[in-house]
Amino acid sequence: MLRCESLVLQQGAFSLRADVVFARGKVVALIGPSGAGKSTLLVGLGGFLVPVTGRVIIDDVDVTDAAPGQRPISMLFQDNNLFPHLSAAQNVGLGLRPDLRLREEEKSQVAAALAEVGLAGMGLRKPAALSGGQQSRVALARVLVANRPVVLLDEPFSALGPALKDEMLDLVKSKLAAAGKTVMMVTHDPADAQRIADMVALVDAGEVHAPVATDALFDDPPAALRAYLG
Ligand SMILES: Nc1ncnc2c1ncn2[C@@H]1O[C@H](COP(=O)(O)OP(=O)(O)OP(=O)(O)O)[C@@H](O)[C@H]1O
């Protein structure tokens, strides 16, 4: 379970309030207008922004003062954050050991993760020799080997075409959600939420609303969601 207790995050003149609970092992889509604060929430949960007030609690541990690397969290962004001079396997290996001094069993874990995302045998390729979709798969494989309980996704597949994006969303569902991870995903596309999210939390005007079951939300959208959906 991930709990934001009276959390206030500030970026410049903008402030975001969150007093919500995200259930463990669920996929939650964060949707809402541009500038509403979705990325601010993920950056704050990741530990890259010191809260003005409030606490962040993950599985009963208060991580509010923990550095990003000490949090039980992996993050995946649109740019995939791959190092161009490292091979796909090395980029994945960073999820296990930042110094890349991998033991044999860790190298096997990397190879297995690459196979899980459909990149078996491509470990030696550098990112420039991979398509956009394949690069996204490398970044996802790194999240898999890191094996943290919470995964934050900030529009990671929005640069991909619709079919590739759906494939990646399905991988998130089958590899992360099925493994019991708590997944929070920012998206602008309600279809993404309907495809893989158990719950949807609306972020609107600097406030994170409580997550609601996806079907229920879209069957009977509250006024703020209706306004956003147009
Ligand atoms: N580094 C920063 N300094 C000052 N203001 C910032 C900074 N980063 C974001 N903001 C402001 O915070 C507000 C929320 O931005 P945020 O990126 O969280 O919104 P968002 O809901 O993710 O938007 P989008 O859907 O367009 O990505 C915006 O008004 C933005 O201009």
Q: Of the candidates 85, 73, 145, 86, which has an alpha carbon nearest to the alpha carbon of residue 113?
A: 145
132 vs 117: CA distance, rounded Å: 14
pLDDT at 80 over 80: no
Closest listed residue to residue 60, CA positions, set 5, 8, 1? 1
Does the Cβ of 156 fall within 6 Å of ligand 1?
Answer: no
Q: Is 225 in the pocket of ligand 1 (CB under 6 A)?
A: no
pLDDT value for 154: 94
CATH class of 25-50+65-72+150-230: alpha beta
6, pLDDT greater than 80: yes
| Residue located nearest, by CA, to atom 25 of ligand 1 | 34
Give tens-digit pLDDT for 13-62.
999 999 999 999 999 999 999 999 999 999 999 999 999 999 999 999 99
Residue 60, pLDDT score: 93
Q: What's the whole-number average pLDDT of the chain?
A: 93
| Number of C-beta neighbours around residue 69 at 10 A | 8
- For ligand 1, is residue 38 a contact (CB within 6 Å)? yes
This model of the complex carries an ipTM of: 0.96
CA dihedral over 133, 138, 144, 148, signed as positive or negative: negative
Q: Is the CB of 18 under 6 A from ligand 1?
A: no
CA distance 176 to 150: 9
Q: How many CA atoms are closer than 13 Å to the CA of 81, on its beta-carbon side?
A: 15
3-state secondary structure 130-170: CCHHHHHHHHHHHHHHHCCCEEEEECCCCCCCHHHHHHHHH
- Is ligand 1 within 6 A of the CB of residue 14? yes
pLDDT higher than threshold 90 for residue 77: no
Q: Ligand 1 pocket test: which of 8, 10, 38 has the largest number of ligand atoms within 8 Å of its C-beta?
A: 38
Q: Where are the domains of the chain?
A: 25-50+65-72+150-230, 80-147
Please tell me if the CB atom of residue 83 comes closer than 6 angstroms to any atom of ligand 1. Answer: no
Q: What are phi and psi of 22, to 5 degrees?
A: -110, 125
Residue % of the chain over a pLDDT of 90: 83
pLDDT tens-digit map of 134-193: 999 999 999 999 999 999 999 988 888 899 899 999 999 999 988 999 999 999 999 999
User: Is the per-residue pLDDT at 210 higher than 80?
Assistant: yes
Give the mean model confidence (pLDDT) for residues 117-144: 95
pLDDT at 230: 76
Instruction: Specify the residue with its C-alpha closest to ligand 1, atom 2.
Output: 11
Q: Is the CB of 36 under 6 A from ligand 1?
A: yes
